[in-house]
């Protein structure tokens, strides 16, 4: 099996790549998820939106801000749920808060470089956080290998 490459720059496999799983709900309520890999050099591109969202949340915990344009979010909230594996670090599950216009742009960027993951049951739509079972993530990578 070829080693994964950075999804953003396409460099030959760097020794340590971050794995990023992105999930969101379509307007029809379907959960879709995508996976990207990132080398450390591409982290500003791949992880910038995530870190902006985390920073917004810590700086203004009482308000939600769009991680892309910065506006305060009221009713137009269209988040992306991330599961992040940075090399040598614990898994984290940050949420990226966006308005729907910015979400559409960010999602198309993810789709242009990422790998679509198999759909899960629509019934599993529930609390606004992803399942936190690491075996599930391992399952994803095994499925990918069959392709
Ligand atoms: Zn890269
Ligand atoms: Zn925005």
Per residue in 10-62, pLDDT (tens digit) is 676 667 899 999 999 998 989 999 999 999 889 999 999 999 999 999 999 89
Nearest ligand atom owner, CA of 44 = 1
Per-residue pLDDT, 118: 87
For residue 139, how far is its CA from the centre of ligand 2 (angstroms)?
Answer: 33
- Domain span at residue 58 reads 18-120
pLDDT band at 120 (very low <50, low <70, confident <90, very high): low
Structural domain tally of the chain? 1
pTM (two decimals): 0.78
The answer as to whether 8 is a domain residue is: no
**Ligand 1 centre from 112 Cα, in Å?**
15
| 92 occurs within a structural domain | yes
Rounded to the nearest 5°, which phi and psi values hold at 96? -105, 115
Q: Is residue 51 included in any domain, yes or no?
A: yes
Write the DSSP symbol of residue 123: G
pLDDT, tens digit, 9 for 90 and up, residues 51-104: 999 999 999 989 999 999 999 999 999 999 999 999 999 999 999 999 999 999
CA distance 100 to 77: 6
Q: Which ligand is nearest to the CA of 113?
A: 1
- Which spans in 17-99 are helix H? 43-59
Ligand (nearest to CA of 76): 2
Which tokens go with 102? 């910015």
Which ligand is nearest the CA of 16, by number?
Answer: 1
**DSSP conformation class of 14:** P
pLDDT band at 119 (very low <50, low <70, confident <90, very high): confident
CA of 109 to the centre of ligand 2 (A): 15
Tell me, in angstroms, the distance from the centre of ligand 2 to residue 98's CA.
5
Question: For residue 10, is it within any domain?
Answer: no
More confident residue, 23 or 135: 23
Asked if residue 132 has pLDDT above 80, the reply is: no
Does 144 map to a domain?
no
- State the distance from the centre of ligand 2 to the C-alpha of 50, rounded, in angstroms: 13
Residue 141, in any domain of the structure: no
Residue 37 belongs to some domain of the structure? yes
In a domain, 12, yes or no: no
Through-space distance between the first and last CA atoms of the chain, rounded to whole angstroms:
10
Burial class (CB in 10 A: 0-12, 13-18, 19+), 66: buried
């Amino acid at each position: 099996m070829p080693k994964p490459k950075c999804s953003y720059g396409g460099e030959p496999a760097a020794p340590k790549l971050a794995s990023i799983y992105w999930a969101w709900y379509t307007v029809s309520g379907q959960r879709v998820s995508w996976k990207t890999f990132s080398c450390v050099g591409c982290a500003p591109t791949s992880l910038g939106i995530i870190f902006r969202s985390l920073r917004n949340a810590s700086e203004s915990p009482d308000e939600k801000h769009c991680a892309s344009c910065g506006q305060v979010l009221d009713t137009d909230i269209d988040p992306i749920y991330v599961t992040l594996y940075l090399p040598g670090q614990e898994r984290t599950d940050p949420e990226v808060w966006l308005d729907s216009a910015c979400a559409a742009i960010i999602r198309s960027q993810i789709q242009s470089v990422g790998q679509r993951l198999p759909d899960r049951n629509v019934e599993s739509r529930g609390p606004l956080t992803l399942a936190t079972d690491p075996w599930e993530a391992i399952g994803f990578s095994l499925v990918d290998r069959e392709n």
